Copies of this chain bind each other. A is one copy, B any other.
Amino acid sequence: MTRMRGNAIVGQAGGPTAVINESLVGVIEESFRHDHIDRLYGARHGLTGVVSEDFIDLKRQPKELLDTVARTPSAALGTSRDKLTPEFREKVLEVFQRHNIRYFFYVGGNDSAATVQAIHQAARDAGYELKAIHIPKTIDNDLLGNDHCPGFGSAARFVAMAFIGDNLDNRALPGIKINVLMGRDAGFLTAASVLARRREDDGPHLIYVPERVFDLDRFAADVIGVTKRFGRAVIAISEGIRDPYGKHWTTRIAQNLEQDSFGHVQLSGSGALADFLAGFIRSNLPGGPWRIRADTFGYLQRCYPESISETDAREARLVGQMAVIYSIQDFTAGSVALERLPGVTYASGVELIPLDVVAPPTPPFTRSLPDKFVNEAGNNITDAYLPYAGPLIGPLPPLGWFEQITSAPVEDSASIATGPGFS
């Protein structure tokens, strides 16, 4: 298929991230540089805006605004969680044909990649020439075929920062602190809590991810062990932890469960899991009374404006730009993927991979935390994770303390340490 002149459309789907607008602006600015794209439509709220023809002419937006939008968290076009039915798919194609839309750019996760693939297939079946490109986005970092995903670095930076503060807080006023983090099936984001550690006795002391079975008695034993050793415990737990039967603990606990249109059980937006675990520890931890607190980080992890990773922002912009560049090459469909280039210092590149790599027809549909990142006991993250995630979140602040602050003997040597991400 040769380069074809026509209109283009871009949409954003799924949960917003802090840098998803960088990808949007990457598409917009790159489209300015290529005359094969006449008009660039922005579809409001994903496919919902496509079928209702609720568009913005993105080529008419001032440069100054685009620069600011790029740095603004969440999806400037609005997003959606549309389930693509055959009827819906036909409507989308009708709109594309009516507006001579020949380039379809869609920013989202694996569900969105499947959507792009279905629409591309429908166009091919109808003999309508369409280039369909998926642009990756997810704070879960679980897209297949990618080393890491735009949106993850900034969410992971927020998590690391939050744990730096929470560990220092817990050190000053010791107790048991349980923090529940986002992550339905993948523990990448929960694992990022390990980046907060500087000292051997720093929290998080225990980290539980969905890739390992979460057993309550085992959990109690772990917490007892840590409190005996350090007199306190800071714990990171993924909202996606499952029982020995593979069932989400949240589904066993939370009230008023919701399901989204993909049939996912709603895990976020509730403190039920954290409160249940705190209550369980309170009634099972010997030698109290212990100061026990539980926080659920919730949606704060997704779009916090002041902890955006520069690496994440730059890569999110890049995958948007590359989607447009790939659209003039001899591909009709694909997904822009981030790869890590070999070498001692961090460097990343992009490639266009088949859509069915990111959205395969059969399980596994998403990527899990590699075994090398989880310790044998399944209650912590290994040091192997640090060089993987450190460069993605960017430098962490230096921290200072007076040595042995929580121990009895007087001791006043000094120490300054910087985190794994610090450069």
Contact = CB atoms under 8 A, between A and B. Distances in A.
Interface in A39-63: 42, 44-45, 52, 54-58, 60-62
Give the top 3 A-B pairs by smallest Cβ distance, nearest first. Answer: A271-B271, A269-B293, A68-B400
Contact of A304 (B165, B255, B293): B165
A18 interface: yes
A410 B55 contact: yes
B65 A15 contact: no
Contact of A12 (B65, B74, B172, B278): B172
A42 B403 CA distance: 12
A293 B282 CA distance: 26
A300 B272 CA distance: 18
Contacts of A164: 73, 305
A289 interface: yes
Count of identical protomers in the assembly: 2
A277 to B, nearest CB: 11
A346 interface: no
Contacts of A55: 410
B412 A65 contact: no
A406 interface: yes
Contact of A165 (B18, B54, B76, B272): B18
10 contacts: A56-B410, A57-B412, A72-B399, A73-B164, A78-B172, A80-B173, A164-B305, A168-B303, A256-B282, A268-B293
A47 to B, nearest CB: 14
Contacts of A411: 56
A65 B300 CA distance: 32
A294 interface: yes
A291 B270 CA distance: 12
A148 interface: no
Interface in A9-48: 12, 15-16, 18, 42, 44-45
A408 to B, nearest CB: 6
A302 interface: yes
A249 B69 CA distance: 40
Contacts of A5: none
A73 B163 CA distance: 11
A353 interface: no
Contact of A306 (B80, B161, B168): B161
Contacts of A74: 165, 168-169, 171-172
Interface of A: 12, 15-16, 18, 42, 44-45, 52, 54-58, 60-62, 64-81, 161-162, 164-166, 168-169, 171-173, 177, 255-256, 258, 268-272, 274-275, 278-279, 282, 289, 291-300, 302-307, 397-402, 405-406, 408, 410-412, 414-416
Contacts of A303: 165-166, 168-169
Given A177-B299, A306-B397, 10 more contacts: A12-B172, A16-B168, A54-B408, A72-B168, A258-B291, A268-B293, A270-B271, A270-B278, A296-B298, A297-B300
A402 to B, nearest CB: 5
Given A278-B270, A306-B161, A16 B172 contact: yes
Nearest to A53: B410
B72 A400 contact: yes
A274 B366 CA distance: 31
Nearest to A61: B414
Contacts of A296: 271, 295-296, 298
A76 B400 contact: yes
A175 to B, nearest CB: 9
Contacts of A80: 173
A165 B410 CA distance: 44
Contacts of A61: 402, 412, 414
